[in-house]
């Protein structure tokens, strides 16, 4: 008996978490799929009415904007935050004297609720109050920085604030990764006289592949769930130019009492995520198996 337990202990340890995920993630996705086929309004109903919610969704110009914004925002946010996080981690790993203080400065944005930091960003980016008027006050009267109030550029201000908020955490992830790289190998390479940048590109960074996976998942998750940020910074405006699927879904489900519509938008969102994340996961995990 105890031998059986010892042999199966890994599975026994994993089982509760796995069952919880099956119910609370996949069960709920199933529930959402079901509700998306109904005409649920204020509260969920379970009578299936076909694909009407999806038709409504694809007829909505606001949804088009939201999903396009997700592509722009998601791509820029993930790439820039990852690059910046890695750069900061490498810079910080050079035996910096005040590392603790600087690391905390880079990390702190995650600590503050976006409900309020959004307001601070709103003031900084507002042409009449923030950077633009400040720089113009220095005498550069031609300086223009009106992205926040320009429907075509407002989404990029969301990217800026989102990177500000989460690149510090990515830096922490990479820093933890850098600190776990085998010091002997690096020393050996240094003794061989290999230039530092080569040590990074050829030895250290490739050995951190799993950290990249973590960073990607964290950032993709933040991109998809970005909600507070949009609400606080632009409220989805100007117009609905900075709407994202998460804000669309919340508006439908909770402000407008249109739960069926919200469920259909959630399903499309999951589908998009699935299409992007699964191939990545597949290639990452298969490589590890070899």
Partner 1 sequence: MTDISMPQSQTQSRTQSAAGKIALRWLLYVLLGLFALYYLMPLFVMLTTSLKSLEEIRTGSLISLPREVSFDAWNTAWSGACTGIQCEGLRPYFWNSVLIAVPAVAISTLLGALNGYVVAQWRFKGANIIFSLMLFGCFIPFQVVLLPMARLLGIMGIAGTIPGLIFVHVIYGLGFTTLFFRNYYVTIPAELTKAARVDGAGFMRIFWSIFLPLSLPIIVVTVIWQFTQIWNDFLFGVSFSQAGTQPVTVALNNIVNSTTGVKEYNVDMAAAIIAGLPTLLVYVVAGKYFIRGLTAGSVKG
Partner 2 sequence: MKRFVFATASTLAVVAGTSVLAEPQAEVLHWWTSGGEAKSVAVLQEEFAANGGSWTDMPVAGGGGDAAMTALRARVLSGNAPTAVQLKGPAIQEWYEEGVLADISSVAEAEGWAEVLPASIAGHMMCEGVWCAAPVNVHRVDWIWANADVLAANGIEMPTTWDEFNAAATKLMDAGVIPLAHGGQAWQDATVFEAVVLGIGGPEFYQKALVDLDPEALTSDTMVQVFDQMRMMRGYVDENFSGRDWNLATAMVMNGEAAFQIMGDWAKGEFLAAGKKPGEDFLCASTPGDGYLYNVDSFAMFDVDGDDKKAGQDLLAKLIVAPNFQKVFNLNKGSIPARTDVALDDFDICANLSAEDMGSTSAAGSLLPSYAHGMALRGSQSGAITDVVTAHFNSEMSSADAVQQLADAVANSY
Tokens (6 digits) for 192 = 């061989």
Closer of 151 and 195 to partner 1 (Cβ): 195
Q: Please check whether residue 70 is in contact with residue 224, taking contact to mean a CB–CB distance below 8 angstroms.
A: yes
Mask of contacts with partner 2, 62-81, x by CB under 8 A?
A: x-------------------
Cα three-residue angle 135-138-141, rounded to 5 degrees: 65
User: Is residue 179 at the binding interface for partner 1, with CB under 8 A as the rule?
Assistant: yes
Q: Partners of 38 in the beta sheet?
A: 48
Closest contact distance (angstroms) between CB of 71 and partner 1 is 16
Q: Which of 47, 59, 152, 184 binds partner 1 (CB under 8 A)?
A: 184
| Window 130 to 189, contacts with partner 2 (CB under 8 A) | 146, 148-149, 151, 154
User: Is residue 127 at the binding interface for partner 2, with CB under 8 A as the rule?
Assistant: yes
What does the alpha-carbon distance between residue 88 and residue 85 come to, in Å, rounded to a whole number?
Answer: 5
Closest contact distance (angstroms) between CB of 126 and partner 2 is 6
User: Is residue 35 at the binding interface for partner 2, with CB under 8 A as the rule?
Assistant: no
Q: Which of 31, 51, 58, 71 binds partner 1 (CB under 8 A)?
A: 31
Region of 53-61, 68-76, 146-154, 280-288 interacting with partner 1 (CB under 8 A): 280-288
Q: Around Cβ 286, how many Cβ atoms within 10 Å?
A: 9
> Residue 261 binds which one of partner 2, partner 1, none, with CB within 5 to 8 A depending on kind?
partner 2
* Contact residues: partner 2, CB under 8 A: 41-44, 56, 59-62, 122, 126-129, 146, 148-149, 151, 154, 231, 233-241, 251-252, 254-258, 261
């Amino acid at each position: 008996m105890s031998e059986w337990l010892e042999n199966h202990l890994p599975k026994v340890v994993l089982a509760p978490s796995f069952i919880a995920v099956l119910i609370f993630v996949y069960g709920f996705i199933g529930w959402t799929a079901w509700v998306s086929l109904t005409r649920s309004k204020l509260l969920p109903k379970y009578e299936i009415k076909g694909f009407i919610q999806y038709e409504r969704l694809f007829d909505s110009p606001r949804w088009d904007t939201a999903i396009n914004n997700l592509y722009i925002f998601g791509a820029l946010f993930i790439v820039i935050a990852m690059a910046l996080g890695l750069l900061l981690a490498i810079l910080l790993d050079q035996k910096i004297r005040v590392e603790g203080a600087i690391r905390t400065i880079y990390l702190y944005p995650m600590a503050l609720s976006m409900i309020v930091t959004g307001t601070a960003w709103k003031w900084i980016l507002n042409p009449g109050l923030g950077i633009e008027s400040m720089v113009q006050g220095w005498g550069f009267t031609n300086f223009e920085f009106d992205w926040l109030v320009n429907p075509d550029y407002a989404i990029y201000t969301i990217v800026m604030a989102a990177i500000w908020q989460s690149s510090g955490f990515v830096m922490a992830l990479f820093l933890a990764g850098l600190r776990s790289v085998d010091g002997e190998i690096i020393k050996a390479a240094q003794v061989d006289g290999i230039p530092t940048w080569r040590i990074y590109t050829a030895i250290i960074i490739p050995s951190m592949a799993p950290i990249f996976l973590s960073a990607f998942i964290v950032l993709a998750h933040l991109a998809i769930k970005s909600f507070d940020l949009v609400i606080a910074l632009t409220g989805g405006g100007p117009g609905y130019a900075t709407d994202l699927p998460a804000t669309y879904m919340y508006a439908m489900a909770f402000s407008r009492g249109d739960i069926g519509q919200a469920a259909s938008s959630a399903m499309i969102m999951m589908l998009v995520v699935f299409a992007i994340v699964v191939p990545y996961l597949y290639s990452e995990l298969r490589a590890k198996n070899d």
